[in-house]
Amino acid sequence: MRKARLEAFSDGVIAIIITIMVLEIKVPHGQKLTDLLHLLPIFLSYLLSFIYLGIYWNNHHHMLHVATHVTGAILWANLHLLFWLSLVPFATGWVGENHFAPLPLAVYGIVLLMSAIAYYILQSLIIQNEGSDSLLAKAVGKDWKGKLSPVLYLLAIGAAFFSTWISGSLYIFAALIWLIPDRRIENMLKKEDRE
Amino acid sequence: MRKARLEAFSDGVIAIIITIMVLEIKVPHGQKLTDLLHLLPIFLSYLLSFIYLGIYWNNHHHMLHVATHVTGAILWANLHLLFWLSLVPFATGWVGENHFAPLPLAVYGIVLLMSAIAYYILQSLIIQNEGSDSLLAKAVGKDWKGKLSPVLYLLAIGAAFFSTWISGSLYIFAALIWLIPDRRIENMLKKEDRE
Amino acid sequence: MRKARLEAFSDGVIAIIITIMVLEIKVPHGQKLTDLLHLLPIFLSYLLSFIYLGIYWNNHHHMLHVATHVTGAILWANLHLLFWLSLVPFATGWVGENHFAPLPLAVYGIVLLMSAIAYYILQSLIIQNEGSDSLLAKAVGKDWKGKLSPVLYLLAIGAAFFSTWISGSLYIFAALIWLIPDRRIENMLKKEDRE
Amino acid sequence: MRKARLEAFSDGVIAIIITIMVLEIKVPHGQKLTDLLHLLPIFLSYLLSFIYLGIYWNNHHHMLHVATHVTGAILWANLHLLFWLSLVPFATGWVGENHFAPLPLAVYGIVLLMSAIAYYILQSLIIQNEGSDSLLAKAVGKDWKGKLSPVLYLLAIGAAFFSTWISGSLYIFAALIWLIPDRRIENMLKKEDRE
């Protein structure tokens, strides 16, 4: 019951964040191809952020799926995560409007880094609540993706001031490692079903 | 359970997309009839896109209704569909603001085409998962609407550069064929109930 | 199941409509009382529209509560209602920005009138589906509010061109009659419980 | 059932309010650190309002969790609360854009005060409906936070015209007292479970 409402609220906030980002792609006044091409950096940064938010929604979905209890601390850790995610449209718009300039790219990374930390806190609280023998604890396991991502964000933040290409590539790479299907929880669930 | 959250998230995103589109109809500064009539092309493009998004929500609703399992791949195929749908307000605003100019009309068609392809991928993944004997596989059947629509979009994209009237009419026609009540799944459900 | 998703989608759209309306109250650049007072007509039109959307949500909520089946036609009638409601923020913003000028006031009434008609169509389809002996059919009964409202809107649309005060008052009056608690469905439910 | 839809609608509205607030943080045209630092007051006011809305969502969540019946009056009291909360983004944007000037700070307090009163009305209606022996009545108890907050808002509104620092500090303090975990309802629930 309480979990259902936490999920519904998170779904709502993430759905709105993902959708208002598109408002940054402002309708051009002209009607030529150059008017459209001018929007390319904004479109690309939108695409990347859409994928990031999709990853968060997906992971959030899986994590809550195996959680059984929701405490007050978990509610606040979840709001903390949503706070940082809510800044993604701002960072995305800034990156896009400035054609991947150094400082916007670094700020983008800071928002991603803080989101990753917030997610880690939420995950830790849920695991602590569920117990180390829980389905979630086993499923998360060593969580190499969760540990590698913040390192990549840190590298990308630093790289932004030397090469925006390297920085941008690191953000793309950090997204791609999450797109590789994460069969951990799915496998655990199938195993449980079989037993 | 997992299906419920997929539906809730999709409902949220489509509800937001459909509603933020109306933000493109900017409140005019004047208070005369000419100020209002000036908005007519924006209003008409909003109406058409509202119908398209309504069709997608309706079909998505019916399709998920008969689906029984949701996999990680289905979650991503669904996000892929939502990505293209999220670009509808941009394309709609561009078409409306430029009074149905060729390039905006063609871009509108590209967004519709990509959405149709994304829907097809999602549908195929769900059918593959449910099995060819499933309720959905039977209900979708030959899916002539799903096959005709992309062809109409392609024709409309090409026509946009010769006659915007033909192009616009094709988009309207492609919407109308979906408005004819699609009794496929409803009939299947009734049949199941009777047996 | 299907009803749940119809409710969820309608809730989402109405929640977004009600909230994006507030975006019309643009943050003033100044920080004086006159800057705030300047926003008074926009604030008042927002308040009235908030109440109207609240009434629609409430009535929609009660109506769906007693509905048992949802058909394809009902889904479309519901989308038709949401379409007209989605134009409320535009009409509200236009009325507020022009300090209750005649044409904006009339357009506001047209949007309310079309919404009322759309609601009537939806209600009729549900009653037709439920049967004339159904809980909803009995609860709606003579539906004097539903019949009086469109008349008041028509009067207000006409009055807008002679006296904006009379027109505005009629809109307020038409809202107030709905605020009188509508115990019809609640009473029916209590009765059912007792039997 | 009816409670579920009330929760869903409230979740939707609060989720949208919390997210559209971020639209006030407008993407700067420049790409320098000074462009970003210029946004600091807007960011800080966003952060504070995010916490306030988080508190409201949390408390609303807990309150509805133990409520068993929903009446028409409760639906309207809930809409009344959502109305005042919907003005938070406007007040937040005004405070941020004017760097915590007196009048915006006072208006911010008025919106918080009216929200607190609306919440109190909603809570009283639910308790009245549940009975004084109900879980909620016991859990709320003396409700010192609910009684202290309006006093703090009133003080902050008055202080705004003398010292914006004192006023701002009072708003922060009033938020902090709610962040102290409110174990009342959680403890009641645990107790019930044990018995």
Mean pLDDT computed over every residue of chain C = 87
Greater confidence, D28 or B132?
D28
- Does A57 sit within 8 Å of B72, measured CB to CB? no
- Does C182 sit within 8 Å of D1, measured CB to CB? no
Mapped onto helix, strand or coil, the DSSP state of residue A91 is: helix
Q: How far apart (Å, rounded) are the C-alpha atoms in residues D152 and B65?
A: 50
Mutation target to probe the B interface, by most B beta carbons within 10 A, among C98, C105, C157 is C98
- Chain A residues whose CB is inside 8 A of the D181 CB are 72-73
Q: How confident is the model at residue C192 (pLDDT cuts 50, 70, 90)?
A: low
Show the CA angle centred on residue C146, arms to residues C140 and C147, nearest 5°: 115
What is the chain C residue with the closest CA to B18? C13
Q: What is the pLDDT of residue D192?
A: 57
Contact present, A13 and B11 (Cβ < 8 Å): no
Question: How far apart, in Å, are the Cα atoms of A9 and each of A2, A79, A164, D54, D188?
Answer: 11, 10, 36, 11, 24
Q: How confident is the model at residue A183 (pLDDT cuts 50, 70, 90)?
A: low
Query: Chains A, B: CB contacts under 8 A, how many?
Result: 77
Q: What is the mean pLDDT of residues D125-152?
A: 82
Q: What is the pLDDT of residue A23?
A: 85
Q: What is the mean pLDDT of residues D130-159?
A: 84
Lowest-pLDDT range, A38-52, A62-76, B118-132, D178-192? D178-192
pLDDT in tens, A89-106: 999 999 988 888 999 999
- Does C17 sit within 8 Å of B18, measured CB to CB? no
Give the residue ranges of DSSP H helices in chain D.
Answer: 2-20, 33-37, 40-66, 72-86, 88-97, 102-130, 135-140, 144-159, 164-179, 183-194
DSSP letter at A99?
T
- Does D54 sit within 8 Å of A76, measured CB to CB? yes
Chain-centre distance of CA C149, in angstroms?
A: 10
Q: How confident is the model at residue B52 (pLDDT cuts 50, 70, 90)?
A: very high
- Phi, psi for A67 (deg, rounded to 5): -75, 145
Among candidates B11, B25, B32 on the partner chain, residue whose Cβ is nearest the Cβ of C90:
B25
- Chain B residues whose CB is inside 8 A of the C87 CB are 22, 25
Chain D residues whose C-beta is within 8 A of a chain C C-beta are 1-2, 5, 8-9, 12-13, 16-17, 20, 23-24, 71-73, 75-76, 79, 82-83, 86-87, 89-90, 93-94, 97-98, 101-104, 107
pLDDT in tens, D44-89: 999 999 999 999 998 898 888 888 888 888 989 999 999 999 999 9
Smallest CA–CA separation between B54 and chain C, in Å?
Answer: 7
Smallest CA–CA separation between A10 and chain B, in Å?
Answer: 9
- Does C179 sit within 8 Å of D83, measured CB to CB? no
pLDDT in tens, A127-152: 888 887 777 777 777 777 888 899 99
- Does C5 sit within 8 Å of B182, measured CB to CB? no
Percent of chain B past pLDDT 70, that is, above it, reads: 91
- Chain A residues whose CB is inside 8 A of the D54 CB are 76, 79
Lowest-pLDDT range, A13-17, A189-193, C67-71? A189-193
pTM (two decimals): 0.89
- Chain B residues whose CB is inside 8 A of the A22 CB are 20, 86-87, 89-90
- Does B20 sit within 8 Å of A20, measured CB to CB? yes
- Does C15 sit within 8 Å of D83, measured CB to CB? no
pLDDT in tens, C126-185: 988 888 777 777 777 777 788 889 999 999 999 999 999 999 999 999 998 888 765 555
What is the chain B residue with the closest CA to C9? B11
The residue type of D53 is: L
Counting as contact any 3 or more CB pairs under 8 A, the partners of A are B, D
What is the chain A residue with the closest CA to D25? A90
